Amino acid sequence: MAEHKTMDRTQVVVADDDPIIRQLFESKLTQMGCDVQSAEDGGAAWKLLRNNKHVDLAIVDLDMPNVDGFSLIQCVRGHPRTKHLPIIVVTSRTDAKAIQDAFGAGATSFLTKPLHWSTFSSHIEYLMRLTHAAHQARNLAQRAEAAVRIKDVVLRRTLEAGACGTERIHEILHRLASTIRSGGDVESAFGLIDELERETLLIQNSLVQGQSMSKALCSRVNVDDVRVPLMNLLANAQIRVQQRSREHNVPVSIVRVPEDAYIACDPEGLSLAVSHLLDNAVRYSPEGRTVTLEADVHPDGMLTIVINDDGPGMEPDFYAARLHPTDESEFQEQNCSEGVGLPLVKAIAEAHGGVLEIRSMPDHGTTAMLVVPADRVRLERDFAA
């Protein structure tokens, strides 16, 4: 395993009650370019895993005092930040039931003591490649699912615009027919024909723009491992709504953001999502009131991005319908500067493995929250750990 900068070194937690085994692991893994933390039982190991925002691999013995390896594996798999963490079980037990129970609890691979150190490095490298491939596959699946949602949103909006255009064309045709029947002047008739041509062109342009928007937005949801400073991403979203903020006299204030936080994301797509939520908050806030934008990395590593406004608020059923529209009328009611509404924001959040939550009550304003999973969040202090 090649030597990298500290922030790129593989972070490993070893859980074994034998101090000699722990020392051997530390020595071998350090030679392989890893940073190692050791624990004498499952409880101490879980504390390390819970407190360290970024661990790449856990090596776990099954028979440990206090909290055994089986319980530790269950804790790891049950936590959202560590549920995909690769776990190597290393034990002197060779009975089939132990192996079956370990894999049943969520172990990734199984090695028996005494270890063959000559092949240990290859095993680790193969497992990390496999883990990376699985991570990439999850990202691709998330992206594909989000793309389907985005296409559906844009298609619905495009069809709704086309339906409105068709109604306008019918109205113009009716007026034209009335003008002809009543013997109206030729100039009025030609004026209606010109209007008819303009509406037809608008419908054609709407269809073309809908296809282009769908393609562009789907390409934006390109979730990868590029880590960007959270502060930069939120500042970019704030800049996107500056004009709207000035027009409505509703300032947007970033009140709290961890300056050392980095996020693995599609910065353009996530910035678009945040800016849309800000835009909604600005448009519906009373003049002179402030919309606040804040973010926090919680103890479990999850990131929340929160937008608060003092607008009129909404009934829960109303904003639930905005998040999960089922017919064209609900899409028509979503007046959005980006043209696609909250379903797009929700799709972008889910493309990153996160969620969008809306909390609102009439006369009590609205809180919009984007939740990003812990495996996409890093703190600068973690790089130097």
Q: Is 18 exposed, middle or buried (0-12, 13-18, 19+ CB in 10 A)?
A: middle
Can you give the pLDDT at residue 4? 37
Can you give the pLDDT at residue 70? 92
Helix residue ranges per DSSP H, the chain? 19-31, 42-51, 69-78, 96-105, 117-181, 186-220, 230-240, 242-248, 267-283, 316-323, 328-333, 342-351, 380-383
Local mean pLDDT, 10-residue blocks, the chain (385 residues): 50 93 92 92 90 85 91 87 89 84 90 86 88 76 64 60 66 74 70 71 57 50 68 93 93 91 84 91 92 90 91 74 50 39 78 84 87 83 50
Task: Say if residues 121 and 33 touch (Cβ distance below 8 Å).
Answer: no
Can you give the pLDDT at residue 335? 39
Can you give the pLDDT at residue 208? 53
Can you give the pLDDT at residue 323? 62
Can you give the pLDDT at residue 349? 84
Can you give the pLDDT at residue 225? 54
pLDDT tens sequence across 191-232:
777 777 776 666 655 555 555 445 545 544 455 556 789 999
The residue with tokens 């709290």 is 256
Can you give the pLDDT at residue 152? 62
Query: Which pTM was predicted?
Result: 0.53
Can you give the pLDDT at residue 40? 94
Can you give the pLDDT at residue 20? 92
DSSP class of 327: S
Query: Coil, helix or strand for 64?
Result: coil
Cα radius of gyration rounded to whole Å, the chain: 28
Can you give the pLDDT at residue 259? 87
> Residue 165: CB partners within 8 Å, gap ≥ 6?
199, 202, 203, 206
Can you give the pLDDT at residue 376? 83
End-to-end CA gap in the chain = 19
